[in-house]
Amino acid sequence: MTPAAAVRDAAIAALVAFGLFAMLVGLRTDVSPTGGLFLRQRWADVALLCGIVFAGRLALTLWLGRRALRPSTGPTPLTLQLQRLGRFFAPAMLAAALVLPFIPGIGRYELDIGILVLTYVMLGWGLNIVVGLAGLLDLGYVAFYAIGAYSYALLAQYFGLSFWICLPLAGILAAFWGVILGFPVLRLRGDYLAIVTLAFGEIIRVVLINWASLTGGPNGISGIPRPTFFGLPFSMSGGEGSFAGFFGLEPSPSHRVIFLYYLIFFLALLTNWVTIRLRRQPLGRAWEALREDEIACRSLGINIRDTKLSAFAIGAMFGGFAGAFFATRQAFISPESFTFIESAIILAIVVLGGLGSQVGVAVAALVMIGGFEVFRNLEEWRMLVFGAAMVVIMVLRPRGLIGTRTPTIALKEKRIIGKDLVGEGRG
């Protein structure tokens, strides 16, 4: 694009921005000291916003236009560099996560963020099985998170079962509901599947709100038992039967936080390990083949029903584990924690990270959830910052942070398939 055309294009963008902002920002109704309403005009702000849009659009077109077109037969130098870096990146991140609680300067607050991030890493990896590998667009993943959380809360409340018994039960129940969801949507793909899964997520939440006699309705469930260290509670008194007393430590509230941190760390690693193992198995390859071409799968004798249901069930199971963990960590749950926005965040993590990429999902969870907490002092501006950050990522790396796909099997050396060779995901 020539500079003149770029300026024209930017001017049009600024005009559109003016049309939007003139009413939204330029005119504001305020309460006057006398109590009546009056219109406050803020044309300086409008001019500023239009200027930003103009400059941004201009910079974008000029910069994009400058990029030379390359034949895409091989990975770009940048991709190769990232790959070289990536070999050390994942182990480094893992090591950092492992020693995080013992790094000086890491307090209770930082550890809490760590727990939150790891929870979303786990949820992202769980959803990655359904969306990234099997290619089934699921907008209601939070339902399984909710089922896991409520399973633990209710089993503990009504039957007094401990966390360690309830954890597998929560996973099994969530997997069961995954199959229940899977059956009616076996024949659906893409947009239609997304709508039904979205509705499923809402149904679960609405049931939780309205079945007040069982779930406590909007008030939620409080007093959910905290986890024990294999039977040893983390009590502040430090008696004989407690964690601190057993190991002869000074009782401290940070013990429980550190324990929770390692618990979710372990659960997330379990999710990752199972996914990596399954990808190399016939089942995992069948999921990926299903994402690529369902009709071809059928013609090869793959049982589509079982393949889809297993993806839903295993993805849901990890959501259930994470839910049980969430319940025991918070000690209080209510349907408010399981709204659609949670599903959207988890899906955003998977898409931003790169569908099917384990490391990418972890990085995206760190950036999305960790970043959201770090920028807390920006107050309402942080939503804007995040929207902009997501747009930038998608412009720069349209297939996610890590858009490469490692073959599940290789004869001699492993070759990574560059992101340029990977087609855009189909829903």
Partner 1 sequence: MSATPPMLEVDCVSAGYGAVQALQEVSLQVQPGEIVTLIGANGAGKSTLLMTICGDPKPRGGRIRLAGEDITGQPTHAIMRRGVAQSPEGRRIFPRMTVQENLLMGAEALTREDPGPQMEQAFALFPRLKERLAQRGGTLSGGEQQMLAIGRALMSKPKLLLLDEPSLGLAPLVVKQIFDAIRALNAQTGLTVLLVEQNANLALRLAHRGYVLVNGRITMEGPGRALLARPEIRDAYLGGGHG
The site for partner 1 (CB under 8 A) is made up of: 282, 285-286, 288-289, 292-293, 295-304, 405, 407-412, 415, 417, 421-423
Cβ-Cβ contacts under 8 Å for 345 (sequence gap 6 or more): 120, 368, 369
**In the chain, what are the helix, strand and coil shares in percent, each to the nearest 5?**
70, 5, 25
Nearer to partner 1, 4 or 410 (CB): 410
Nearer to partner 1, 99 or 410 (CB): 410
| CB 308, min distance to partner 1, A | 13
Task: Kindly list the distances between the CA atom of residue 150 and the CA atoms of 216, 270, 324, 361, in Å, as whole numbers in the listed order.
Answer: 11, 22, 7, 26
| CB 67, min distance to partner 1, A | 23
Bridge partners for 244 per DSSP: none
Give ∠ CA 119-362-164 in degrees, rounded to 5: 30
Nearer to partner 1, 289 or 327 (CB): 289
- Residue 19 main-chain phi, psi, to 5 deg: -55, -40
Nearer to partner 1, 282 or 398 (CB): 282
| CB 310, min distance to partner 1, A | 13
| CB 304, min distance to partner 1, A | 8
Q: How far is it, in rounded angstroms, from Cα 147 to Cα 45?
A: 47
Nearer to partner 1, 212 or 417 (CB): 417
Asked whether 71 and 59 are in contact (CB, 8 A), the reply is no
Nearer to partner 1, 286 or 401 (CB): 286
| CB 305, min distance to partner 1, A | 8
Asked whether 331 and 220 are in contact (CB, 8 A), the reply is no
Bridge partners for 417 per DSSP: 405
Nearer to partner 1, 180 or 416 (CB): 416
Q: How far is it, in rounded angstroms, from Cα 136 to Cα 190?
A: 7
Q: How far is it, in rounded angstroms, from Cα 213 to Cα 308?
A: 35
| CB 298, min distance to partner 1, A | 5
| CB 292, min distance to partner 1, A | 4
